[in-house]
Amino acid sequence: MALMAGCGALDYGATGRNRTASLNCCRLQTGSAKQQAIARTAARLVGARTIQIGNRLVSYDCAGVTRAIYLSQGHDLYAGAGENGQANGVRRIYEHVQKHGRIHRGPAVGPGDLVFFDNTWDFNEDGLLNDSLTHVGIVEAVERDGTIIFISRVSNAIERYRMNLRAPNTIRHADGRILNDYLRRKKIGDPLATGYLTGQLFASFGSLDE
């Protein structure tokens, strides 16, 4: 399935990271009761095309949906971050995690953790692969082979996607299982190094302190 993520950010060094390097990741850690509740809330929203958490209005993009899911558990991912007026939702969430948690690349990942991506679309429309932190989702589970299942708003609905950082350039395993979904739409004129799969576009995970 080819698609384009509808979230963006400014350039914060996406060109400095290797999108295709395999990582010894991931294994599932249990997570706290709150983290598990966040993952369950995200799972209940799969397929939804509208979202409302209490009386609070949130934007229906990947960052807004992610924020709303955390708000349902009493945690605002925008609190105290991105106040410079330039950062969009994904960057604000990233900065919040930097202040109140941990940015990492595994190997242990828990339910409710955040997963960030770079270059899921050409946000600044300059034709270069320099668009960092353009998408975010919430980890639901990790399969035995290390494949991450995460939930995010992409295109027109909230859906499940898969990512395997041990084989970031592989769409399907030999047995037919999906390892990495498409997260960027292919376009004529894309740079030769453009990644399209979740594993190729992965930036980092985010875990919040309790």
Closest CA to 58 of 93, 83, 85, 84: 93
How high is the pLDDT of residue 161? Answer: 97
Domain boundaries, the chain: 14-208
pLDDT in tens, 72-116: 999 999 997 655 555 689 999 999 999 999 999 999 999 999 999
pTM for this predicted structure? 0.88
How high is the pLDDT of residue 16? Answer: 46
Task: Name 162's bridge partners.
Answer: 149
Please measure the distance between the N-terminal and C-terminal CA atoms of the chain and give it in whole angstroms: 36
Here the tokens at position 129 are: 């692969």
How high is the pLDDT of residue 126? Answer: 85
How high is the pLDDT of residue 11? Answer: 39
How high is the pLDDT of residue 56? Answer: 63
Low-confidence spans in the chain with pLDDT less than 70: 1-20, 53-58, 81-87, 210
CB crowding 27-50: b at 16 or more within 10 Å, else e: ebeebeeebebbbebbbebeeeee
The architecture of the domain spanning 14-208 is Alpha-Beta Complex (3.90)
Answer for the pair 126, 143: CB distance below 8 angstroms, yes or no. no
